[in-house]
Amino acid sequence: MITSPVLVFDTETIPDTQGLRKTLKIDDKFSEDDVVNIAKYYYRQQRGTDFFPHQFQKVVAISCVLRHSESLEIWSLGEVESSEEELLKRFFDGLNRYLPTIVSWNGSGFDLPVLNYRSILYGIDTGRYFDQGEQSNDFKYNNYLNRYHTRHLDLMDFLALFGGRSNASLNHIAKLCNFPGKLDMDGGAVYDNFKQGKIDEIRNYCETDVLNTYLVYLRLGLIRNQLTLEEYSREIEMIKNKIDYIQQEHLLEFKKVWESND
């Protein structure tokens, strides 16, 4: 049974061209696309990959599922025009309001380190997030930072038994469980969509990712005997009812694919 607030979250990012330009000393005469291509070449030579380091991942969307008391909310933080700084502030404000269990897929490996570095950039007040017992003794033994504590459950890391060689993609695990998985976009398409001004589409994609994560979290709760089959079924029905209530096209499509898999 879910008795405490659970916040499932996911982020979408694009290259921080301003930060890359500054740190790699790329001349202003080069366009943003040039900056990205120059930086990709640099990191392929330095690291063997053109995937940019966490500090150069600019957050453009944070989507959440919040399960609290008898309520369930599915949404993206802020508005389409919200700045990265505002998204970060809203995330940590919510975290400190509810002090929930946070759930992610690869949050320890990607999302949280990105939020850490980007919060440093803006000087965001993160409240209790970094507390390891300095503010509350309870956080000494169960905090958001420790890999093996329960305030943050990184599903990918947990299911792989904290061994990177066994990591799996959310898309594959979701589809194995007959959940929808990826629909019309993946992470590699976010930057192109951002350049076309398709922020709504990015936010919608992020919301379906966070729903997939929540569904896998519920399935894990079932096999760990944290949820009875009846409780699990009620949680599933709650999600479907919420989607029907919200009446947003991307969520209705998510539900349609989901039900076609049953």
CATH code (residue 199) = 3.30.420
| pLDDT reported for residue 262 | 77
114 belongs to a structural domain: yes
Instruction: Measure Cα distances from 56 to 19, 53, 198 in Å.
Output: 6, 6, 21
Give the tokens for residue 87: 């998204």
Question: If you ran DSSP here, which 8-state letter would residue 187 be given?
Answer: G
User: In terms of domains, do 227 and 172 share one?
Assistant: yes
User: In terms of domains, do 40 and 143 share one?
Assistant: no
| pLDDT reported for residue 186 | 77
Give the residues across from 184 on adjacent strands.
none
Question: If you ran DSSP here, which 8-state letter would residue 52 be given?
Answer: P
Q: Which domain holds residue 41?
A: 17-51
User: In terms of domains, do 29 and 102 share one?
Assistant: no
157 belongs to a structural domain: yes
User: In terms of domains, do 101 and 34 share one?
Assistant: no
Q: For Cα atoms 48, 52, 56, give the angle at the middle one, nearest 5 degrees.
A: 150
- Structural domain count of the chain: 2
170 belongs to a structural domain: yes
137 belongs to a structural domain: yes
57 belongs to a structural domain: no
Residue among 151, 7, 4, 2 at smallest CA distance from 66: 7
| pLDDT reported for residue 4 | 84
Residue among 45, 158, 72 at smallest CA distance from 108: 158
User: In terms of domains, do 149 and 192 share one?
Assistant: yes
User: In terms of domains, do 75 and 37 share one?
Assistant: no
User: In terms of domains, do 182 and 250 share one?
Assistant: yes
56 belongs to a structural domain: no
| Dist CA 209 CA 230 (whole Å) | 25
Positions of the chain with pLDDT lower than 50, given as ranges: none
| pLDDT reported for residue 188 | 80
